[in-house]
Amino acid sequence: MSNMTMTRRAAMAGFGAVAAGSVLPVLPALSAQVRSPARKLVKPPRLKEGDVLGLVAPAGFVGDRFGLDQIMATVRAMGLEPRPALHMLQREGYLAGSDWTRADDLMAMFADDKVRAVMAVRGGWGCARILPLLDFDRIAANPKLFVGFSDNTALHLAFAARTGVASIHGPNASASWPPAAWASFHALAFEGATPTWQVPEGAGVNLSGRGKDLRTFRGGKARGRLLGGNLSVLSALVGTPYLPDFTGAVLFIEDTNESEYRIDRMLTQLALAGIFDRVAGVVFGQCTGCQNPDGGYSNFTIYEVLDRQFSGLRVPAFQGLQIGHIASQLSVPVGLPVEIDADAGTMRLLEAAVA
């Protein structure tokens, strides 16, 4: 039995007769106003060709070994050596094994000196379940680049709140990785680039010329450290110790397959929690498939929902960057300072995300 496994088992005993499997440990009641203090930014090492990339499944499961083979082939095409987690192909319902197993696998990657960075193979649901089981001190002492999106937002935010280690909100390892997605990730993780991202031009041409897919809810410029991710996951962490302090931050959010009223409800939750009162600016990426098929003409469009939520803010806010559940998604760093221009639809990274 490894030292890491022994540590996890000891921790499990300390929680007091927690049932085996994916039963969450009992935690003290939390105030709705719980906020983690801002942590000093820690930059993980950049990637280089030949580095070992740890593959983990902290949420949903990988279908079978053939799916894993394809994921590993993708990583090798990146010029990296894949190292799948020990229990990668385990499954418990919709989860990739028990909470303890998934936490063990993630912590093992941070304990392995040969692993240079860690990438989630997919999203789904389950990352929040393992947060109480992670050793954040060990993660902070062994900073490595963590990559993923969707449900992995819970890990990005927890790392920002509890360790200060920067991470990359970008494609999971099982993504299709078209050239644009790969170029965006390579620039951040390998090159240490400081790009400026811009809302793309629209496809149509009319009398006013070729427009953009930009929707500016409130104009202006702002600077702050970039924090956020998937809206559903972020809103579910409100009131927990795994949500970072958003004071002065640029909040970025995205989502998929959520009806307009659900997006409205989650944004309202952030507003009621005071997050919009603390941020320096807001960037909403893509909301893929966010239409209620039964909405009809009496329904708000997703853009009306965003406009009603953001136009009354006192900070710049816009929508349209290629962040979210799309094939050619941008990779953006969580925890790094950026500057946004809501009128131009741009976001500029002010310093490299990796050391």
The CB-side HSE value for 169 (13 A sphere, CA atoms) comes to: 31
H/E segment holding residue 276: helix 275-278
Q: What is the pLDDT of residue 298?
A: 60
Annotated catalytic residue, options 150, 167, 232, 331? 150
Reply yes or no on whether the pLDDT at 314 is more than 60: yes
Q: What is the pLDDT of residue 212?
A: 67
b/e code 57-66 from CB counts within 10 Å (16+ = b): bbbbbbeeee
C-alpha to C-alpha distance for 167 and 146, rounded to whole angstroms: 5
Q: What is the pLDDT of residue 60?
A: 97
Clarify whether 167 is annotated catalytic.
Answer: no
DSSP output for 278-337:
H-SEEEEEEEET---TT--TTSPPHHHHHHHHHTTSSS-EEE--S-SSSTTPPPEEET-E
8 Å CB contact between 156 and 323: no
H/E segment holding residue 273: none
**What is the layout of strands, in order, in the sheet containing 52-56?**
81-84, 52-56, 115-120, 145-148, 167-169, 332-334
Q: Distance of alpha carbon 48 from its chain centroid, rounded?
A: 23
Least confident of 8-17, 60-69, 133-142, 339-348: 8-17
List the domain boundaries for the chain: 36-189, 196-202+212-349
Q: What is the pLDDT of residue 201?
A: 82
Q: What is the pLDDT of residue 35?
A: 56
Q: What is the pLDDT of residue 293?
A: 73
CATH 3.30.565.10 for the 196-202+212-349 domain, yes or no: no
Tens digits of residue pLDDT in 201-252: 875 656 665 566 899 999 999 999 999 999 999 999 999 999 999 999 999 9
Beta strand extents in the chain (DSSP E only): 52-56, 81-84, 115-120, 145-148, 167-169, 196-198, 201-206, 209-212, 215-218, 221-230, 250-256, 281-288, 317-319, 332-334, 337-341, 346-349
Reply yes or no on whether the pLDDT at 19 is more than 90: no
Tens digits of residue pLDDT in 176-213: 999 999 999 999 999 999 999 999 987 565 666 556 68
Annotated catalytic residue, options 167, 174, 235, 325? 325
Q: Give residue 122's identity as a one-letter amino acid code.
A: R
Clarify whether 150 is annotated catalytic.
Answer: yes
**Residue 281 pairs with which residues in a beta bridge?**
250
Clarify whether 325 is annotated catalytic.
Answer: yes
Tens digits of residue pLDDT in 113-143: 999 999 999 999 999 999 999 999 999 999 9
Average pLDDT over every residue of 19-40: 48
Average pLDDT, the chain: 89
C-alpha to C-alpha distance for 327 and 256, rounded to whole angstroms: 13
Q: Quick one: CATH architecture of 36-189?
A: 3-Layer(aba) Sandwich (3.40)
Where residue 164 falls (left for φ over 0; alpha for ψ -120 to 50; beta otherwise) is: left
Of the candidates 103, 97, 100, 108, the one whose C-alpha atom is nearest the C-alpha of residue 13 is 100
C-alpha to C-alpha distance for 7 and 4, rounded to whole angstroms: 5
pTM confidence score:
0.88
Q: What is the pLDDT of residue 230?
A: 98
How many C-beta atoms surround the C-beta of residue 238 within 10 A? 18
Annotated catalytic residue, options 254, 258, 259, 260? 254
